[in-house]
Each structure stands twice: as C-alpha cells, then as structure tokens.
Amino acid sequence: MTPRETLSTGAEELGIALTVEQINSLFIYLAELKKWNRKINLTAITEDRDMVIKHVLDSLSYLKGFTPAPGLLLLDMGSGAGFPALPLKIAYPEITVTLVESAKKKASFLRHIMRTLKLTGAEIIDKRTEELIGSRSAVFDVVTARAFADMKKALSLGVPFLKEGGLMVLSRGPEETITERQLAGAGVSLKKRIEQTLPHSDYKRAIWVFKKTGSGASRSSP
C-alpha cells in the first residue's frame, strides 16, 4: 500500500473523506516538513508511511472529540511542526485555527506552510502559551495539544482560553490518567475518553475530551 493509499483509507476508517486536492496538500506539507527537518529539528519521524500514520492520521483522530463547523475557533498549544492543527485545517478549511509555537524557527516553518498551501483562517503566534492568557481568554471553542506537558499542566494552561462549555481535546498515551480532584481544580468535566489504535498500525492512543464547566481555577499555575 502506498503512503497516499494509507492516508486515504486511513482517513476513511476515521470517518473522513479527503479530496484529491486535500491529499495533495497534505503530501506537500509532509515533503516540506522533511526538507526543513534537515536544518531544524521538527520531527524524529521521517519515513513517509510513519509520517502519514503518526502525524496526519493521529491529527485527524482528534475529530473524534469535536465536530468541525463553519466559524469554529480552535487553539493549538505548542504546535511544533503543526500537528494536529494544520491537518485539521486542511481537512476542514471552514474552521479557524490559531497555532501557538514559541520557537521562532518552528513558527517560521508554520508560516511557510501557510503561504505554500495558501491557507486562510490560520494564525501563528510565536509566544509562550502562558503569555496569551488574558488577551485570548474565553475566546475559543476547542483547544488542542499534542506532546505538550502532562495532562494536568495542559488543562491548567488550556482551559482559560475556552468559552464556557468549550472543549479541550488531547491525544495521549493510553496509560495516562487524571484524578477527579485535578478535573475539578481545572474547571472541567470529563466528557469522554476514547481508546484507539491508529489505522494501518499498532500505534495506540487515547483521545480525552474535557468540557469547560466554569468552576475551579480560572488561571491555575503550571
């Protein structure tokens, strides 16, 4: 099976029908990622098939946690090379994404991808997430994070950005847990937890979906 077939059928398995144009955009993205990765450290995963599964399909699996809709505002914390936000944006161009990445070189790569793919409705902020609390509080419908600290810290930093009733969606290793006390302290309830094995692999992940309740700390320390 070619990497393109792996992406197309894997996305279908996740309930997502990608167009030929979207598949082309995703492979342009991965090609640019490999090119830039020779100069700056963006990813340790460099084989095409592994990149499709562990980067793109993993990113698309976040859609098990929320429903994309026109005007939906999504904030991605610690975006790195752009996962999960940019594959989500390519698959569902009607959503608006804000990617927060404090490393200037990584932020430059993200801007390059936006220009290359002519993406609109996407913003790159090259600051630490903590610096945005206050100016962007209670703005977003969905907050995502991938390989970003532990769940307690991710919730502490991410929840203030959510509107009341907004969702925080995290993809974590299946062994991670969180306590009721930590949930209450972050001001969220656990809406659902979905264990999954990514298509065409034995790569196990768990999608955690938290809903902002308004109780608890509005601005917890990390």
- The pLDDT tens digits for 29-76 are 999 999 999 999 999 999 999 999 999 999 999 999 999 999 999 999
Alpha carbon 210 to its chain's center: 14
| pTM score, whole prediction | 0.93
In the prediction, which pLDDT does 135 show? 85
pLDDT score, position 118: 96
3-212: CATH topology is Rossmann fold (3.40.50)
Report percent pLDDT > 70 for the chain: 96
pLDDT above 70 for 16: yes
- CA gap 156, 115 in Å, rounded: 32
pLDDT, tens digit (0-9, with 9 covering 90-100), for 184-209: 999 999 999 999 999 999 999 999 99
Whether residue 131 has pLDDT greater than 80: yes
- Tell me the per-residue pLDDT of 140-170, one tens digit each, with 9 for 90 and over: 999 999 877 788 889 999 999 999 999 999 9
Angle at 110 (CA atoms; ends 212, 17), nearest 5 degrees: 70
pLDDT given at position 150: 84
Judged against a pLDDT cut of 70, whether residue 220 lies above it is answered with: no
Q: Is it the case that residue 221 has pLDDT exceeding 50? A: no
